[in-house]
């Protein structure tokens, strides 16, 4: 009976920022599947169907970093979510969200109901990058996620990927 009580103890951890680790990045002729292990101690990973605007539009990000002239590029094609202020009727300003995402892929990890005794979100997430050639012969992918409190995880980086001629 003592073993049973110990095994039912609620698992806890204190880190509120989600942590991810790379499981695999498998590239084919048509797409790349990236699998990451996600752990979030307060369990606030996921977007509902109503979370569709601003910073809630996406919560998983895959950026492409090319290898150019013998070096990894300093910049990826980063996600930019800026507010553009537009004059309307000469007196009212309306913010407009604009997203520029040329070489990156953004995803919505849905809310998953947790039926365990723990609040910890611990899951494998699979991201299907619907491309395999990005205009560079050598590149790598950088992945991060964000929880509902807008805490951004660490970034995991795939091995270099080479486009075969």
Q: Quick check: 61 and 79 in contact, CB under 8 A?
A: yes
Is 90 exceeded by the pLDDT of residue 81?
A: no
Measure the CA–CA gap between 94 and 160, rounded to whole angstroms. Answer: 43
Q: Name all domains of the chain by residue range, CATH numbers in brackets.
A: 12-71+103-159 (2.60.40.10)
Residue, of 12 and 162, whose pLDDT is higher: 162
In the chain, pLDDT over 90 holds for what percent of residues?
Answer: 19
Gyration radius from the chain CA atoms = 20
Model confidence pTM above 0.75: no
Buried b (16+ CB within 10 A) or exposed e, 16-50: eebebeeeebebeeeebebebebbbbbbbbbbeee
- Encode pLDDT of 84-139 as tens digits: 333 344 443 333 333 334 456 888 888 876 655 567 878 888 888 877 667 778 88
């Amino acid at each position: 009976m003592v073993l049973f009580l110990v095994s039912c103890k609620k698992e806890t951890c204190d880190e509120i920022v989600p942590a991810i680790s790379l499981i695999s990045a498998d590239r084919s002729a048509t797409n790349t599947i990236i699998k990451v292990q996600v752990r979030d101690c307060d369990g606030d990973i996921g977007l509902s169907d109503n979370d569709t605007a601003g910073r809630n539009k996406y919560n998983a990000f895959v950026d492409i970093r090319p290898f150019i002239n013998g070096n990894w590029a300093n910049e990826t094609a980063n996600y930019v979510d800026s507010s553009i202020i537009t004059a309307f009727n000469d007196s009212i300003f309306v913010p407009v969200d604009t997203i520029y995402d040329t070489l990156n892929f953004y995803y919505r990890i849905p809310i998953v109901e947790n039926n365990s005794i723990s609040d910890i979100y611990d899951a494998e997430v699979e991201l299907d990058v619907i491309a395999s050639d990005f205009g560079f012969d050598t590149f790598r992918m950088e992945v991060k996620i964000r929880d509902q409190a807008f805490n951004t995880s660490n970034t995991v980086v795939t091995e270099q990927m080479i486009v075969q001629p």
